[in-house]
Amino acid sequence: MIRVASLYLPQLPIERLRRLERPAKPPDAPPVPAQSRFAAPIDDDPGACSVPRGGGWRPGARWALADHGAASWPREGARPDKPSQAEIDALPAHQRPTMREMGRRSEAADNPFKAIPPDEGATGYAVAAPLPLVAAWTRPTILIERVGQRDIVTAACPVAQELGLRPGMAAAHARALVVDLDVRDAEPDHDRALLDRLALHAVGHWTPTASVAGPDGLWLDLTGTTHLFGGEARFCRRLLRFLHRLGFTASIAIAGSPGTAHALARYGGEPVTVLPPGREIEAIADLPLAALRLTPEALSSAARFGLESVADLYPIARGPLARRLGMTTVTRLDQARGLVAEPIVPVVPFEEPRVERRLLEPISTAEAITQVIGDLIDDMVGVLQARGLGLRAAVLICLRVDGVEQRIGLGTAKATRDAQHLKRMFAMRVERIEPDLGIEAMALTAPRVEDLMPVSLGTGLAESSTPDLAPLVDQLAGRAGDAALFRIGAQESDVPERAIVRADALACPSGWPKWKRPARLLRRPELLSNVVALLPDHPPRRFVWRGQSYRVVAGDGPERIHGEWWRSEREMWAVRDYFRVEAEGGERFWLFRRGDGVEGSTGDHSWYMHGLFG
């Protein structure tokens, strides 16, 4: 018997953004009076004691002699009568006799194993409320996305929906209807990433088969798994409680087909729907046609023919129905009724490549450690080759006899399965390992891998091949550090210091400007002193930089660069005039003057050194 659950998250895009706005520490909630599950504490201060002091007898002392002979009673040899239970209950709590005094061998004790409040909120237990969202639904919020030449509303919070805003309407229309409207950009990629994470969590905790169902839900194949959670109804309550703690509103439906579960979760009107087997046809009869996941064209055609609910499609023959609404409508209807199978493509968690060696005896020499590392690399290369992957990052884990773990990591410039290259890379890092009393186990993992397909080597001897620089880059990075090797790339900006970006050592930067730029650009422009120049369009004749005076013999310019006013208001009228100059000693510099040399609002006409040629 197939049982499929459809999880629906109607406010996923907005609730995800609200969840990011949660405070790091929840605010202190006011105390709420609630009935405790434990008995009230006994008053340790009973007030004035009614038992006489200085030779008086406690009542329990006389009762404790009830099971002994009267000869043991010291006062006149009389044996007192045993009091009734009503008399004992009338005494104060501190004067009541213990069970041992009443003739029992032990007193009753509470069970030390207290029941934990269940997730589904059973009666008799107070379930803690989730962390409150930041200003949850106090201001109407919508998400918009650019479609063609218009901004379209993709999601609206409950407050916005009460004001008449709906997904699919124009953003300009929404702003006209509601004045105080919080408009944000939609992030479908982040929403999809969150659904993927939920699907992976479901595979690890709820069911082995889970899949993402559209932009707002999940499929869960619960066949043969709900008994592990106490039944289908209890599983649904636990799942909704889990999502509620995360800050998400959800509804779930379980049925015998994915189509019926999808329809009931979105149009059933109940947060939890558990449909008995064999009742799919009557359960979806009163639902609208949109519950069948029909195309917009099919819904428009159905509206023209007066078809509103799913039950209106039952008496129509398959041939006329296919001609009027399309064959897809017939397929969707059969899938919802369970007549046609609808397979669920499950998500497959990525298994990190890992190889391990446990040693018979601890090792501590560099030669033995290198030998084990080589064996691990050979095993890892075999695993990567079988899966068609290449290694980009590796972590060597050494477990010492005293239980301490040492981790040695390395990265490669590009994906590789070259065992000799990886062995050389790890050989450069063996000296970082401290074996101490000995290493008893070693493991090698690949936390970052990439697809690596076989490459054709060619057939002709005359073919020229480009040398592979990746091994050289890896060896240099192993000696000088990963941050020591990089390339300079270009990015869109008019300001020279903002127009460059640091790129990977094997990257191929593109988009360099046609203007001549210096080979070395200073991190920050340095102020020049004692500058002699003819304004406004001539290069300087002499200047002093870093305490040394330079005399200019040739110059070219100016190259005018305006400030990026969209970044800062201070750059609204800012201007730089750049000059390429050559000094008497043959040095070539790249200088600029702040301002156009005429208007004071464009700059203070100070000179700066920004780069060197050659």
Write a three-state SS string for 287-331.
CEHHHHCCCHHHHHHHHHCCCCEHHHHCCCCHHHHHHHHCHHHHH
In a shared domain, residues 324 and 378: no
In a shared domain, residues 313 and 360: no
Reply yes or no on whether the pLDDT at 607 is more than 70. Answer: yes
In a shared domain, residues 196 and 329: yes
pLDDT in tens, 343-376: 888 887 778 899 999 999 999 999 999 999 999 9
Domain stops at, among 304, 337, 370: 337
Least confident of 251-255, 292-296, 383-387, 488-492: 488-492
Residues 7, 266: Cα–Cα separation, whole Å: 9
Q: Is residue 379 part of a domain?
A: yes
Q: What pLDDT is attached to residue 68?
A: 44
Where is pLDDT greater, at 30 or 155? Answer: 155
Q: Is residue 261 part of a domain?
A: yes
In a shared domain, residues 220 and 327: yes
pLDDT in tens, 88-137: 777 776 677 665 555 544 444 454 444 444 444 444 444 444 444 434 55
Q: Is residue 104 part of a domain?
A: no
Q: What is the domain count for the chain?
A: 3
Locus of tokens 């309407």: 169
- The identity of residue 403, as a single letter, is G
SS3 372: helix
Domain stops at, among 451, 474, 496: 451
- Mean pLDDT across the stretch 62-82? 45
Q: What pLDDT is attached to residue 62?
A: 44
Q: Is residue 224 part of a domain?
A: yes
Residues 433, 442: Cα–Cα separation, whole Å: 12
Confidence band of 507 (pLDDT split at 50, 70, 90)? confident
In a shared domain, residues 196 and 311: yes
Q: Is residue 318 part of a domain?
A: yes
In a shared domain, residues 314 and 366: no
Least confident of 83-97, 382-396, 410-424, 557-571: 83-97
Q: What pLDDT is attached to residue 102?
A: 56
Reply yes or no on whether the pLDDT at 281 is more than 80. Answer: yes
pLDDT in tens, 220-251: 999 988 888 899 999 999 999 999 999 899 99
Q: What pLDDT is attached to residue 472?
A: 80
Question: What rounded mean pLDDT belongs to the chain?
Answer: 81
Q: Is residue 426 part of a domain?
A: yes
Residues 268, 283: Cα–Cα separation, whole Å: 9
Q: Is residue 373 part of a domain?
A: yes
User: Does the global pTM surpass 0.75?
Assistant: no
In a shared domain, residues 429 and 555: no
Where is pLDDT greater, at 512 or 519? Answer: 519
In a shared domain, residues 250 and 382: no
Domain stops at, among 428, 451, 474: 451
Q: What pLDDT is attached to residue 384?
A: 92
Q: What pLDDT is attached to residue 123?
A: 45
Q: Pull the structure tokens for residue 316.
A: 């129509």
* CATH classification of the domain holding 431: 3.30.1490.100
Least confident of 81-85, 128-132, 580-584: 128-132
Distances (CA, A) of 306 to 283, 311, 526: 21, 12, 77
Residues 319, 329: Cα–Cα separation, whole Å: 11
In a shared domain, residues 440 and 360: yes
Q: Pull the structure tokens for residue 89.
A: 């209950």
pLDDT in tens, 185-229: 999 999 999 999 999 999 888 998 999 998 899 999 999 888 888
In a shared domain, residues 194 and 333: yes
In a shared domain, residues 395 and 277: no
In a shared domain, residues 326 and 203: yes
Residues 170, 183: Cα–Cα separation, whole Å: 12
Q: Tally the residues of the chain.
A: 614
Q: What is the DSSP letter of 407?
A: E
pLDDT in tens, 441-464: 999 999 889 888 776 655 555 555
> Is-contact 142 186, C-beta < 8 A?
no
Structural domain range at position 319: 190-337
Q: What pLDDT is attached to residue 610?
A: 93
- Mean pLDDT across the stretch 417-428? 90
Q: Is residue 228 part of a domain?
A: yes
